[in-house]
Amino acid sequence: MGNYANTKVYGTMLKEDKLFNKSEIINILKDSSKNDWLFKYADKVRADNVGDAVHLRGLVEFSNICKNSCKYCGLRLENHNIERYRILIEEILSIVENAVNMGYKTIVLQSGEDSYFSKDKMIEIIEGIKKFDVALTLSIGERSYEDYKAFKQAGADRYLIRIETTDRELYKQMHPNMNFENRIRCLKDLKELGYEVGTGCLVGLPNQTIESLADDILFFKEIEADMVGIGPFIPHPQTPLKYASSGSFELALKVMALTRILLPDINIPATTAMETLNPNGRIKALQSGANVVMPNVTSTKYRAKYEIYPNKICLNDKPEKCRGCIGAKIESIGRKIATNYGFSHNKG
Ligand code: 5AD
Ligand code: FES
């Protein structure tokens, strides 16, 4: 793997023979004059380490019921202004089958923290999905070691659980009744159980500092994340943060680009939240370090109800439309769609 620190543009700011340290990351995040350089640099690191193929992961949003109260999230328990739904096993499997027929090689099952989906219910769903020839990612929040172990044994391959922010004070403010240590415990358990582990953060939360974003990036490196998803915070009108300002697309892109530079061979999605703030956001992300897209494969009738933040893209679209749309966009920038399962290169 190349050493990317010896670069002319930041020559005066970078120590030789090592990747960016915290103060260098902070300088880059604060200095907008070299953004183009940063994005091109991350794009090259991406091309050199994970190649040109873009992995598509079909996202199934199977329940919007959540017992948590994250201040930023539209699915929070206190939001009585959404119609709650839960998709049961037969329908989940038919959604998955449809996605497989469209060529998806990875399915991502995402939901709020919905206690209805007990360990046994999840095992049934996982086993059902694994009968199709797909890699399976879960994104269902904090569970016990025993649950994670059972899901792994049932066939789950990967798990997404963003740390959201490594600033403990901010974490506490944003997540009443949750606890940072338990979040870390989940990440450690998942690693130990042999999952490919995805994490990530929100960019632009109220009171979030540039320094803490630098810590977030270093945290991804420290825990040896296999995947990192980064998205701008978008205020939801039915949450306590409704009057907060939105995160910046550009800053989120910079955090993502730096993550690529520090973790050259991981999988990084061009996130839906980026596209929500910028009509060409996912393509810009794919050209600034990202190598994954997670198109929604959930049936159209549920989409508007999975309103984590407002103005989510593709709310009225069918899974087939999203697949065609993103495929064409990816090809228009000279990239190709991966035909393999897209396991992480970050192994060993
Ligand atoms: N804006 C942007 N992203 C959000 N998420 C939750 N709420 C918001 C919001 N208001 C993100 C969190 C979570 C992921 C599923 O969605 O980072 O991990
Ligand atoms: Fe559902 Fe936070 S409110 S995960």
- Supply the pLDDT for residue 306: 98
Q: Is the CB of 148 under 6 A from ligand 1?
A: no
Ligand 2 center–CA 251 separation, angstroms: 23
Does residue 203 belong to any structural domain of this protein? yes
- Give me the domain span that covers residue 147: 22-337
Does residue 1 belong to any structural domain of this protein? no
Nearest CA to 270 among 36, 24, 110, 59? Answer: 59
pLDDT tens figures, 161-180: 999 999 999 999 999 999 99
- Supply the pLDDT for residue 344: 85
pLDDT tens figures, 86-117: 999 999 999 999 999 999 999 999 999 999 99
Does residue 62 belong to any structural domain of this protein? yes
Task: Looking at the CA of 252, name the nearest ligand.
Answer: 1
What letters, b where the CB count within 10 A reaches 16 and e where it falls short, cover 277-316?
bbeebbbbbbbbbbbbbbbbbbbeebbebbbbbeebbbee
Residue 1's pLDDT band, with cuts at 50, 70 and 90, is: very low
Q: Which amino acid is at 65?
A: I
Task: Encode 195-225 in three state secondary structure.
Answer: CEEEEEEEECCCCCCHHHHHHHHHHHHHCCC
Q: In whole angstroms, what is the distance from residue 184 CA to residue 58 CA?
A: 26
Residue 345's pLDDT band, with cuts at 50, 70 and 90, is: confident
Q: How is residue 187 written in tokens? A: 């990440």
pLDDT exceeds cutoff 80 at 2: no
Q: Which of 61, 67, 68, 163 to mutate to test the pocket of ligand 2 (most atoms within 8 A of CB)?
A: 68
Q: Is 178 left (phi over 0), alpha (psi -120 to 50) or beta?
A: beta
pLDDT tens figures, 255-281: 999 999 999 999 999 999 999 999 999
Q: How is residue 108 written in tokens? A: 């991502």
Q: What is the average per-residue pLDDT within 130-138? A: 97
- Supply the pLDDT for residue 287: 98
The total number of structural domains that make up the chain: 1
Ligand 1 center–CA 17 separation, angstroms: 36
Minimal-distance CA residue to ligand 1 atom 7: 73
> Tell me, what DSSP letter sits at residue 297?
-
Q: What is the average per-residue pLDDT within 148-160? A: 98
- What percentage of residues in the chain have a pLDDT greater than 90? 92
Does residue 15 belong to any structural domain of this protein? no
- Supply the pLDDT for residue 206: 98
- Find the residues whose C-beta lies inside 6 A of ligand 2: 66, 68, 70, 73, 75-76, 112-113, 141
pLDDT exceeds cutoff 60 at 240: yes
Does residue 345 belong to any structural domain of this protein? no
Token pair 């598509």 in the structure block, residue: 56
Q: Is the CB of 323 under 6 A from ligand 1?
A: no
Beta strands in the chain (DSSP E): 53-63, 106-111, 135-139, 158-160, 196-203, 227-232, 269-270, 292-293, 336-337
> Where residue 196 sits, what CATH number does that domain have?
3.20.20.70
pLDDT exceeds cutoff 50 at 242: yes
pLDDT tens figures, 26-53: 999 999 999 999 999 999 999 999 999 9
Does residue 16 belong to any structural domain of this protein? no
Query: What SS3 state is found at 72?
Result: coil
- The full length of the chain comes to 348
CA distances from 279 to 118, 253, 276, 309, 312 (A): 38, 14, 7, 16, 11
DSSP 144-157: -HHHHHHHHHHT--
pLDDT tens figures, 292-318: 999 999 999 999 999 999 999 999 999
DSSP 153-201: HHT--EEE---B-S-HHHHHHH-TT--HHHHHHHHHHHHHTT-EEEEEE
- Supply the pLDDT for residue 18: 58
Does residue 4 belong to any structural domain of this protein? no
Does residue 3 belong to any structural domain of this protein? no
Ligand 1 center–CA 327 separation, angstroms: 25
Ligand 2 center–CA 67 separation, angstroms: 7
